[in-house]
Amino acid sequence: MALKNPNRLLEAWKQTYPTYESKKFTFFSFEQNNTKLLSSVLERAEDLSFALSFFSGADLVAPFIRGVTKLQLYIKQPSDIERFKKLFDFQEVANGANVELYIPYDEGVFYQTQKITTPFGKDIPVVSNIQLYMDLFNNPARGVEQAEHLRELKLGF
């Protein structure tokens, strides 16, 4: 089975996609270099289930926005929040976060997670390009621009 008009479906879906229903937890990491932080997560979070999304994922899949300064990822288990905090010394903050952990309202965000090679040569899980598009499109911080760049480069419709 194939969609006759995937463009039309995507246009309708992005207008109603409930990104806001995912629970967001914001943290500050003393590691200010995003590449080093990403490398550290890969080295030390082996038994934690996660996938990059939003600008963190887009920066690896279809770079467009310069100066990505936040690590944004979905985690599967609410209990993993405490594990991430302890493992990386994340400090919970209301403002000035450079790490955002999301617990999705639906585990569908992990459907067709892809492995993307980082600048330092290791593979990291990133949500599917469709999920990435949905998350970006609904993000007010230049998300629409990044989403449309991703769509043009990777989705092809």
Within a domain: 64 = yes
Within a domain: 76 = yes
Q: What is the mean pLDDT of residues 92-120?
A: 95
DSSP element (H, E) containing 132: helix 129-137
Predicted confidence band of residue 156 (pLDDT cuts 50, 70, 90): confident
Within a domain: 116 = yes
pLDDT tens sequence across 37-53: 999 999 998 889 999 99
CATH number reported for the structural domain that contains residue 39 in this entry:
3.30.460.40
Tally of structural domains, the chain: 1
Within a domain: 99 = yes
Within a domain: 134 = no
Q: Please give the share of the chain, as a percent, with pLDDT higher than 90.
A: 76
Structural domain of 51: 20-128
Q: What is the mean pLDDT of residues 112-139?
A: 94
Q: What is the mean pLDDT of residues 5-16?
A: 73
146 vs 153: CA distance, rounded Å: 11
Within a domain: 62 = yes
pLDDT at 5 over 80: no
Within a domain: 68 = yes
